[in-house]
Structure 1
Amino acid sequence: MAATAGAFEHVPSASPGLLQLLRGAEVFAPAPLGTCDVLLAAGKIAAIARQLPALPPELAGEEHDLRGRRLVPGLIDAHVHLIGGGGEAGPSTRVPPVGLSQLSRAGITTVVGVLGTDGTTRTVADLVARTLGLRDEGLSAYCYTGSYELPVPTLTGSVRRDLVYIDPIIGVGELALSDHRSSQPTLDELLRVAADAHVGGMMANKAGIVHLHMGDGLRGLDLVRRALDTSELPPRVFHPTHVNRNRRLFAEAGELVARGCSVDVTAFPPEDDPGDSLYAADAIDRWIAQGLPVSRLTCSSDGAGCMPVFDAHGHICAMDVGRPTTLSDTLTELLARGHDLAVVLPIFTSNVAGLLRLSHKGRLTPGADADLVVLDDHGHIAGVIARGRWLIRGGQTVVCGPFERSAT
């Protein structure tokens, strides 16, 4: 079949391409470094300085003038349904998989894939395959083993073996608590999964966390508190998400971080009726205003996840789909409200990297991966570099996945 006219470039591998010298950007690493030049080489950040010398003509390379722009680490989204979520109202409600450009347009250079309610027709094997595919397309991609349910669906038959032997798998998720769609786990069941995740993570030098889907149930975070009370597991193992889905749960999350846990707010689509929930920007506003530790907060998009609304009988009465772009939209909204970029940026970058033990991600420093986002004057995405390759340039998508097509 002939190539489609106007189709984007497809990247068959993650080759870093030319040397890149980025000139004169206001750099946030995420701490502010002032106006700097940044040199990228072999998919890494090679140097950051007030002024770097020009590239020698004998070296293949490019210089880019970024004066007047802000340069930040690539965003890390720790919760995306890479092969699609949904299915709670039958096969026709299965959400399609996520394409590369859907992530890059959101400034996401590192992504973690999850399964949701459906661990039956969607499998960990499918998720791992899509994760590896995104790596081939130029993104940094990881995933969790498991889904909402217990026993935990795995690839090898064991949580520990999945962590030790399957490279992209870095933890368990999203295991559901306080939700009518969960397996209604007991304390002992949660502790067994968390112990396997923790020890498997130690053996594989990975995060080994349990990423917990939190529902609207009245039990809230009670099971997590009891797990901390009755076990020796470190608090960092438990990472509850969707904690902004109602105000009661958000208040519980604020108390939980005092015990050493990190919690995650979800960037719900802005057109959704918030009801008792908090939009991500509102939740982060409130978190900062209450003096809660920003270092314990992360934000994710729930991209390609189905966001159903249930009635009192458990029937779906409305449905929306999460979009990766809500992650960058939340950052833009926070900047529009006057928040300091250096304060809120870690919620989307270094906090996530630290929790997931991705030491080469989330910061702009020599030796780190060359994952960078260029922000315009209004905080919108103007450029995205993933592992040294431009995916978005001048606000336009220049690289996409093999099955994506140009809109023209």
Structure 2
Amino acid sequence: MLTLFKNVEVFAPEPLGRKDILISGERIVEIDEGIDESAVRSLNGDVFDLGEAYAIPGFVDGHVHLIGGGGEGGFSTRTPEGSSQQFAEVGTTTVVGMLGTDGVTRDHASLLAKVRDFRNSGIDSYMLTGSYRYPLKTLTGDVMRDIVFIPEIIGVGEVAVSDHRSSNLSSTELQRFAMDARVAGMLSGKAGVTVLHLGDGQEKLKPLYEAVADGTLNPRQIIPTHICRSEELLSQGIDWVSNKGGYIDITADEQSTHLVLKDIYSKKIRFDRICVSSDGLGSLPRFDDEKNLVGIRPAPVDTLLKTFTRLVKGRGLPIHEALKPFTANPAAFYHLQRNGIGLLKRGGSANILFIDRDFQIVEVISSGRSILEKRR
């Protein structure tokens, strides 16, 4: 099935100007001016003129809890699992699911089933093996076997460090399983990366620095998330980017993340190493001084779209720069750009978000399928 979208301003994320986009199946066939719509119609294809719309890559949410999270206050504090429609409605076309604190009542088999459900619904979906706990919980009994043999598993995470819910693993243990993940990625043609949950412990990023100190583990294989938990943690994260060349992941908060991103961009820190994720459907717990749970709520999934909009409309970042932490950067970290994810390019995945000049969604195309349409 051919579909032609006419007269859209394309950000790939680099600005390409006003173009037509032709898709066939799950792929972008062409991005060019004046694509012959009569030829498309002659092959029973559809043609849509979207007028003043922007075409941008669908958002890549690299940290979500598809089957829910939480549980820190007992069984009644487990957060609910999500649906693909929740992500479609906010322009997210690629997700990476993972377990968190609860690797006991939630497991990888259920997560894998949910990932495949999302794929059946048109959302590009992947997952990580492991959870907060060390030794790592896996699906097959071995980290490397999980990554090599399960197509959807592309790395390890989220493993907790510097947190009162962690297993207090050593930097040597961290290095060992992160390198196992890397080798498994080499064998299977995947990223083989590791996502590390950072809590409010005093060590902060120290275990990461120690794990890469001897030069055998590339800093780009591990990413610390929730890096804006404190100013000191963010400062260490910026150092991780600037001096180690690693990535950091910011959990989007619609009230403040756009301000942090603007500050990072203004200081000319490597913006291609900054990722933003929602932590969607996971828990947002509050603890007292004695680490007792005093409140919990599920994390929303719409914070990428809201943060991107505020970054452009409120902070004045150019669209093509503002897009990177939500599209190209997480796709690069997870080695998904090779599939054309996080980009708009000829031959790439047809994951396209069409928005109007007020940044309202017009249509969402994921894996070549229209999964949300508001143009009529």
How far apart, CA to CA, are the structure 2 residues paired with 1:318 and 1:86? 11
Corresponding letter in the other structure for 2:333: L
Equivalent pair of 1:55/1:61 in contact (CA under 8 Å):
no
Equivalent pair of 1:163/1:204 in contact (CA under 8 Å):
yes
2:26 corresponds, among 37, 43, 62, to: 43
How far apart, CA to CA, are the structure 1 residues paired with 2:254 and 2:313? 18
Q: Does 2:55 match 1:77?
A: no
Superposition misfits of 4+ residues, deviation over 4 angstroms: none
Q: Tell me the equivalent position of 1:263.
A: 248
Q: Does 2:305 match 1:328?
A: yes
Q: Tell me the equivalent position of 1:343.
A: 321
1:245 corresponds, among 229, 238, 244, to: 229
Report 1:61-140 matches (<5 A): 61-140=45-124
How far apart, CA to CA, are the structure 2 residues paired with 1:264 and 1:380? 25
How far apart, CA to CA, are the structure 1 residues paired with 2:223 and 2:47? 41
TM-score, normalised via structure 2 length? 0.96
Equivalent pair of 2:327/2:343 in contact (CA under 8 Å):
yes
Q: Tell me the equivalent position of 1:382.
A: 362
Equivalent pair of 1:175/1:213 in contact (CA under 8 Å):
yes
How far apart, CA to CA, are the structure 2 residues paired with 1:366 and 1:50? 13
Q: Tell me the equivalent position of 2:218.
A: 234
Equivalent pair of 2:254/2:306 in contact (CA under 8 Å):
no
Q: Tell me the equivalent position of 1:306.
A: 283
Post-superposition offset of 1:64: 1.1
Post-superposition offset of 1:381: 2.3
Which SS does the other structure have where 1:385 is aligned?
strand
Q: Tell me the equivalent position of 1:156.
A: 140
Root-mean-square deviation (CA), in Å? 1.2
2:333 corresponds, among 350, 355, 366, to: 355
Post-superposition offset of 1:260: 1.6
Corresponding letter in the other structure for 2:264: W
How far apart, CA to CA, are the structure 2 residues paired with 1:60 and 1:88? 54
How far apart, CA to CA, are the structure 2 residues paired with 1:381 and 1:290? 31
Corresponding letter in the other structure for 1:349: T
Q: Tell me the equivalent position of 2:165.
A: 181
Equivalent pair of 1:265/1:283 in contact (CA under 8 Å):
no
Post-superposition offset of 1:43: 1.3
How far apart, CA to CA, are the structure 2 residues paired with 1:131 and 1:253? 30
1:281 corresponds, among 258, 262, 267, to: 258
How far apart, CA to CA, are the structure 2 residues paired with 1:231 and 1:175? 21
Tell me: CA distance 1:81–1:162, structure 2 relative to 1, closer, same or farther (3 Å).
same
Superimposed CA distance per residue, residues 135-188 of structure 1 (whole angstroms, 9 cap, x where no aligned partner): 111111000001000011100111000000001000000001111001111111
Post-superposition offset of 1:55: 3.9
Percent of aligned pairs with the same amino acid: 39
How far apart, CA to CA, are the structure 1 residues paired with 2:161 and 2:361? 35
How far apart, CA to CA, are the structure 2 residues paired with 1:203 and 1:375? 39
Which SS does the other structure have where 2:42 is aligned?
coil
Equivalent pair of 2:175/2:212 in contact (CA under 8 Å):
no
Corresponding letter in the other structure for 2:318: D
Q: Does 2:270 match 1:293?
A: yes
2:13 corresponds, among 9, 18, 30, to: 30
Post-superposition offset of 1:269: 5.6
Post-superposition offset of 1:124: 1.1
Which SS does the other structure have where 2:87 is aligned?
helix
Q: Tell me the equivalent position of 1:399.
A: none
2:349 corresponds, among 339, 358, 369, to: 369
Superimposed CA distance per residue, residues 289-326 of structure 1 (whole angstroms, 9 cap, x where no aligned partner): 22111000010000001010111111112222211111
Which SS does the other structure have where 1:230 is aligned?
coil
TM-score, normalised via structure 1 length? 0.89
Which SS does the other structure have where 2:228 is aligned?
coil
Which SS does the other structure have where 2:118 is aligned?
helix
How far apart, CA to CA, are the structure 1 residues paired with 2:346 and 2:99? 34
Equivalent pair of 1:268/1:322 in contact (CA under 8 Å):
no
How far apart, CA to CA, are the structure 2 residues paired with 1:126 and 1:342? 37
Q: Tell me the equivalent position of 1:276.
A: none
Structure 1 unaligned regions, length at least 5: 1-17, 271-278, 397-408
Which SS does the other structure have where 2:213 is aligned?
helix
Q: Tell me the equivalent position of 2:296.
A: 319
Count of aligned positions? 371
Corresponding letter in the other structure for 1:372: I
How far apart, CA to CA, are the structure 1 residues paired with 2:209 and 2:91? 34
How far apart, CA to CA, are the structure 2 residues paired with 1:178 and 1:250? 14
Tell me: CA distance 1:58–1:382, structure 2 relative to 1, closer, same or farther (3 Å).
closer
